Structure 1
Amino acid sequence: MNILTIVLGKELRESMRDRRTLIMLGVCVVVYPLLLALLLTKQIRAAEPQQTFIEVALLESSAPLSAYLTQHHVNVHTVRDAGELSRSPSAQEGTVGVAMEGSDDLTVYYDSTTVKTEAYQRLLGLLRDFNTQQFVRAHPDAAQLPQLSEQDTSSSALRAGDQIKGFIGMLFMPAFFFCMSTVIDATAGEKERRTAEVLLAQPLSPVSLIAGKWLSASLIGVVGLSAELLLVHGLMLSLPLEQIGMSWTVSTAEIIGLCIASASLPLLAAAVEMALAINARTYKEAQTTVGLTAMVPLLISVLAGVMGVAPHIAQALPMLSNHYLLQQLASGAHPGLMQYGSVFLINLLCAAPFLAFAAARISRPGYLANA
């Protein structure tokens, strides 16, 4: 039993020294409960009474409709001018305008890019029930039911921007994969092959050495990300998007501006991965650590898509600011140079601490000894 305890203690200590084991343990402990919590939260929200903000015109039959919708947990707000209903969905996010046409017909004005689909479908069901009940009481012998028509007030450009929002992170996440192999080979790979000793023996500062490796790896990511964005632009121009109610109005100059603003994202990716690879003890540990870290943007994208991110927060975060800029362009907006510049600077500023850590780590005497 004593020998078994000694062996068990030895193996546990070695396992605890292996950073790959600890990282995988931490990821599994945190990620799966978090995903379960998000799934349950979504189901809980779906089970709650749906609340939809509606503007109802003050016409002859508006009072009964307002009372009927209020009884079914629908928030109702009245307006005096029926003409405002067609403008309200665009003016106030998440609103739906309902107008009474004649005595029984209803027209619904909505913005498909902002209204919640489940709540909107539930609203349509309530309106159909109300319209039918009122009509049957007034015209019990009629052969034709009243009409319920829908008008989408959003533009094709806004719908394109909404579709881009659904692809959050997918277009910019590859920036973290383009330079991964180069970063690992230039850091942990050189240390494994014992060629790092030759570089460190040269008369150059650690900052210069790190900067050279960083820019070299980042250049690959910049070329790859720019080529990807240009390819997406070409595909969107060639596809018949009008068949699905969308349009792509982004100009070539705007997509080139996006490529320039997004050039700092591979710089951030290379800096983060280089800091992790330099801090790893072995080549395999660097592969595992950097590989898992490259999946963090995907996790952030999922969380942002499920929970939603306010525009002012998205503009202040790396990668999400790139996506928000693309979403604005796809929606037909024309951001100013300040927004392009802020996207570039946010990623670049976030890269600075990782570069400083990498330079400090490589200058330590115990770096080559895997200390």
Structure 2
Amino acid sequence: MKPLFFVVFMKELRDTLRDRRALSLLLLFVLMYPVMVGGILSQQISRATAPQKEGIELTVIGAQRAPTLMTQLKQKNINVTEGGPMTDEQITGLLRTKAVAAVLRLSDTYGSDYRDMRPARIELWFDSASANYRQMGEIEGVLRSYGNTIAGARLLAHGVSPATLFPVQVQRYDTGSSASRSASMIGTMLGMFFIPAFFFALSPAVDSTAGERERRSMEVLLAQPARTIDLVAGKWLAASAVALAGLVLELGIAHGILKWLPLEEIGMSWRLSWGDLALVCVVSLSLPLFAAAMEIALAINAKTFKEAQTTASFAMLVPMIPVIVVPMMDLATQTWMYLVPLLAHQTLLSELAKGQAVGPLPFLLTFGSSLLLALLCVGFTTWRMKSERYLMGV
């Protein structure tokens, strides 16, 4: 004879699989977050590689006054277009078209100032609100190099070593790996991969509690010769199974997308292996259990499906707050982070993505913290359904 909770589990699972709305929502969130993260990173990669492939567009007014500068700009893959005299308004209009990254305007006295060894003025016009602003570093680098070359030549002409201009020589050593930069940059995005677990469990959790109460089928279930814990456990495990299936599919798709993207183009990498992903999925088993248990505990008191859905939707925002706030604070990884659901999973995945050696304690804390909260929610739901006040209100 099958256990009663298993009978309830199979009944709720069949009802969920017949619900096209629930399955559509599951498919939407399975694809939405991985595709969204992949699209954002793909756009960053395209922007980072576009200047090297296509060159940087630069309009120069008075280019004939500085032929050496024009040569250096072209050597850095900067496409120089000579322009005629333009007013300030015309330059602003040209930049707003986003056709060029910047406009250089050499003053009318540039040639005479250069020959007389006076500061020769060059105006650099750009739009900081434009996507082309990221190309300004290349242009400004050429201008600095050009100025240093002129200064060095003038010092040599006066018998002074150009090294006088650089009394301090700074050598930069970056110890950050591409994996650590990846985890820091997409730390918040990693948390998004676990948030849908709450959405996956929402529909079956609410429909099997508040929905049945609204349809007056809850009182029929409570009248059956079954323990309350069997009814609660069956509904809880059914909602958890749907959430777990969606979460595993989503993590697999996200991992495949991040493996496929050429992240090295933007100084990043994704070192997570399929074995590491499988381990993350096992540890994440407790998250769908907690999500379903919390939503059932909230929905059990609602008299209508809409009321339960609204209450559970607002409650889902609470676990999301640490996922967003903690990465913004740029805190070092600490043990307490593995005790907070969602944040624990985000932190664990981030550490694995960095290629860091993670001991067994983070895995145990991540799994155990969510499981403990899930059992507390199930215990509350069971106690609530046993109370006379609840039975009178069904």
Say if 2:215 is the partner of 1:193: yes
Distance between the aligned counterparts of 2:212 and 2:288, measured in 1?
Answer: 22
Deviation at 1:162, TM superposition (A): 1.6
Match of 2:339 in 1: 316
Q: How many pairs align?
A: 238
Distance between the aligned counterparts of 1:166 and 1:293, measured in 2?
Answer: 20
Match of 1:215 in 2: 237
Structure 2: which 5+ runs fail to align?
A: 1-143
Match of 1:364 in 2: 387
2:368 pairs, out of 345, 352, 359, with: 345
Match of 1:29 in 2: none
Percent of residue pairs bearing the same amino acid type: 42
Deviation at 1:303, TM superposition (A): 2.3
Deviation at 1:244, TM superposition (A): 0.8
| SS class of match (1:179) | helix
Match of 2:378 in 1: 355
| SS class of match (1:367) | helix
Instruction: Classify 1:299/1:338 alpha carbon distance in 2 versus 1 (closer, same or farther; 3 Å).
Output: closer
Residue-by-residue CA offset, 1:255-313 (whole Å, 9 max, x unaligned): 00000100110100111111000022332221110111122223232222333555222
Structure 1: which 5+ runs fail to align?
A: 1-127
Given that 1:164 and 1:330 are in contact with CA atoms closer than 8 Å, whether structure 2 keeps it comes out as no
Say if 2:262 is the partner of 1:240: yes
Alignment of 1:1-371 (within 5 A): 145-146=165-166, 150-167=172-189, 169-309=191-331, 310-370=333-393
Distance between the aligned counterparts of 2:223 and 2:173, measured in 1?
Answer: 72
Given that 1:168 and 1:305 are in contact with CA atoms closer than 8 Å, whether structure 2 keeps it comes out as no
**Max Rg structure:** 2
Deviation at 1:323, TM superposition (A): 1.1
Given that 2:210 and 2:304 are in contact with CA atoms closer than 8 Å, whether structure 1 keeps it comes out as yes
Match of 2:39 in 1: none
Deviation at 1:338, TM superposition (A): 3.9
Counterpart code for 2:303 = R
Residue-by-residue CA offset, 1:337-363 (whole Å, 9 max, x unaligned): 443233211110111211111001111
Counterpart code for 1:332 = G
Deviation at 1:172, TM superposition (A): 1.1
Deviation at 1:196, TM superposition (A): 0.6
Residue-by-residue CA offset, 1:185-231 (whole Å, 9 max, x unaligned): 00000000001111111111111110000000000111111111111
Distance between the aligned counterparts of 1:197 and 1:261, measured in 2?
Answer: 36
| SS class of match (2:308) | helix
Given that 1:222 and 1:263 are in contact with CA atoms closer than 8 Å, whether structure 2 keeps it comes out as yes
Deviation at 1:252, TM superposition (A): 0.8
Distance between the aligned counterparts of 2:372 and 2:281, measured in 1?
Answer: 18
Q: Which has the higher contact order (CA 8 A, sep 6+)?
A: 2
| SS class of match (2:393) | coil
| SS class of match (1:315) | helix
Distance between the aligned counterparts of 1:166 and 1:258, measured in 2?
Answer: 17
With the length of structure 2 as denominator, give the TM-score of the two structures: 0.56
| SS class of match (1:150) | coil
Counterpart code for 2:193 = L
Instruction: Classify 1:192/1:369 alpha carbon distance in 2 versus 1 (closer, same or farther; 3 Å).
Output: farther
Deviation at 1:366, TM superposition (A): 3.0
| SS class of match (1:221) | helix
Distance between the aligned counterparts of 2:256 and 2:343, measured in 1?
Answer: 23
Residue-by-residue CA offset, 1:322-341 (whole Å, 9 max, x unaligned): 11110111001232344323
Given that 2:244 and 2:288 are in contact with CA atoms closer than 8 Å, whether structure 1 keeps it comes out as yes
| SS class of match (2:390) | coil
* RMSD between aligned residues: 2.6
Distance between the aligned counterparts of 1:158 and 1:302, measured in 2?
Answer: 19
Distance between the aligned counterparts of 1:258 and 1:163, measured in 2?
Answer: 20
Counterpart code for 2:336 = I
Larger proportion of helix: 2
